[in-house]
Chains A and B, each alone.
Chain A
Amino acid sequence: MCQNPNEPKKNPSHFESIEHSEDTPTHRDLLWEDYENLIQGMRFFDPHIHMVSRTTDDYQMMVKAGIVAIIEPAFWVGQPRTGLSSFKDYYSSLVGWERFRSSQFGIKHYCTMGLNSREANNERLAEEVMEILPLFAFKEGVVGIGEIGFDDQTVLEEKYYRLQLELAKKAKLPVQIHTPHRDKKRGTERSMSIAIEHGLDPSWVVVDHNNEETVKSVLDKGFWAAFTIYPFTKMGNERMVSVVEKYGPERIMINSSADWGISDPLAIPKTAALMMQRGIPKEVIRKVTYQNAIDAFAKSGQIDVRDFDLEFSPDPNAKFHGNSVLRGGQQPVVNKNSLFIQ
């Protein structure tokens, strides 16, 4: 990403709005170091983050800030894929390399599988992707079908959204809905009514990237309402605090959606710190930054919190496909005091 954040972007990320691109991050004046201690000992679950676009430094900061588990939804990597193989490789990386890399930092990595709305518009490729999607949807550690839904709200987007809702029913998996940046309110309503039309239980559906305009309807209909704290967007974390104050913690969850855009993998702990500072009860914070996401996605049968309750000691010498996260010259975390190199 080499874009000037003040300029309209051709490929806005999850929560960007071209019309409101002059917005500034609401939390940029808060110095994280000053607030970090507010959340000491708390643990967080980020149900929406694209680690494939993030660095190893991020993993280190995340684990330090108390993030114990994450969900990586299959989404847009910033440019359209040109063939089925790229999809296969991408999906494989979500259950393979990225899961391994995450484990190296003691973070439990799950993912959701889906054909994203943007790429649903390439019908030829979309057809091929739909053929292999079941082979990924049923894999271990896949906790949902996602993120699916609308972007431009085209006919093809609707077609593949519907097909994937059917797949979710068949696979008994929760659904993670990506709501569009443009015409969000209508897009969100449309996504929900189609899900209901297909007979999905709203308690199995997480509607993502909500704002003040959409939250009430989502909650009223019985869906999970997820909020993305993403800089330069409509939802900064100060306003997130107000949403929680107004609606309480039931069926609300917070995520970072951090990806290749200007985003923040610490969005959840930072928002939690802000909520602590504003005097929101700890149990409320726990629900919206940890427990609700687990409750929603554990319906997949793929989440066992004992996996991250255990004191985790990753083996930094482990290798994946013969590759380690550690590069030449780097020493694994263990044995660093040894003079001998064997």
Chain B
Amino acid sequence: MNANTTIELTQFLFEMTTKSEREWLENKTKTNVLDLMTAFVAAPRFLSKKNISYDDKAKGNLIPHLPGYQVDGWSLVRLARVWLLLQIPQDPKEECIKNIETLFDTAELNELVALYSALPLLPYPWEWLSRATDAVRSNMGFVFDAISILNPYPELYFPESAWNQLVLKTIFNGKPIHLIYGLDRRKNKELAISISDFIDERFAAGRKIPPQILRLLAPFSNEEHSSTLIRMFASEESGEKEAAALVCFESKEPKLRSLLANQPELELSIQNGELDWSKLESIA
């Protein structure tokens, strides 16, 4: 967290608030830490219930060192809570950690959402790692989304196993994986193996496969995947066919490349740039 972040976020927040809301927020920064923490809890009593929306092109990057971190669609209360967390004194370190831990321990659902949303901006980021991986285990939908969707924290701090768990759970929950921040940057072999197993299980159960998950498999595909891909080409779901084609196209295995030769139309549309992974993204 650096000073610039606070300035940008403050400016943005204050653009969204009324005069009296702004005054209430500003007053909170002038008091003691307990008042600040209480303000975090009490925010819905003093701020309007509206949601924030902005044109992200016009806004550029809200947090310069975290491109793509966005607050579009958040409630004003959530944004204000994140901002209030950044006002908690960072020194001494133990005090700061204790205060934030207390907020976690006493939080209700909406407060948890704000806390997890703030993680990539909080000081001492490594201290929140176990909280963050806990959130992935949570089955509270809003909490899971707060850590997994458009949140830079997992990409920056999760070890591979926790990262993979997050991606797999996102798939299990039927949520759009392309909204995971840094998804393409953290593809890995272990994850590809799990994805492959998952696809086989779905086939066995006669269930559909969310086609875009194959993007995680593509860079690690090998001959073993040919039978899976053949089945997908035979599928009645166009998305499954298209995903199989994209895997073959990206593959360096001649055997997989040759599968694509049997699908000239799909091959052509990939070559023409008409078909890519983004066509398979769906907001569930």
Contacts and interface: CB of A to CB of B under 8 A. Distances in A.
B108 A139 contact: yes
Interface residues of B, number: 18
A138 B108 contact: no
Contacts of A91: 106
A95 B138 contact: no
B23 to A, nearest CB: 17
Nearest to A318: B141
Nearest to B35: A134
Interface SS majority for chain B: helix
B105 to A, nearest CB: 6
A95 B103 CA distance: 15
B140 A135 contact: no
A134 B34 contact: yes
Nearest to B139: A322
Given A321-B138, A322-B140, A136 B110 contact: no
A9 interface: no
B160 to A, nearest CB: 24
A91 B110 CA distance: 16
A96 B108 contact: yes
Nearest to A91: B106
A221 to B, nearest CB: 29
A301 B45 contact: yes
A135 B102 CA distance: 9
**Most central of A132, A138, A323 by chain B CB within 10 Å:** A138
Interface in B19-56: 34, 37-38, 41-42, 44-45
Interface in B268-284: none
A166 to B, nearest CB: 14
A92 B140 CA distance: 15
A32 to B, nearest CB: 36
B109 interface: yes
Contacts of B138: 321-322
A136 B42 CA distance: 9
B109 A96 contact: yes
A64 interface: no
Contacts of B139: 319, 321-323
Nearest to A324: B139
**Most central of B37, B45, B109, B111 by chain A CB within 10 Å:** B45
Contacts of B34: 131, 134
Interface of A: 88, 91-92, 95-96, 131-132, 134-136, 138-140, 171, 301, 319-323
Sorted nearest first, the 8 A-B pairs with minimum C-beta distance are A322-B139, A138-B42, A138-B41, A135-B106, A134-B38, A95-B108, A135-B41, A140-B44
Given A132-B106, A322-B140, 20 more contacts: A88-B105, A91-B106, A92-B108, A131-B34, A134-B34, A134-B38, A135-B38, A135-B41, A135-B102, A135-B103, A136-B41, A138-B42, A138-B45, A139-B41, A140-B44, A140-B45, A140-B110, A171-B42, A321-B139, A322-B138
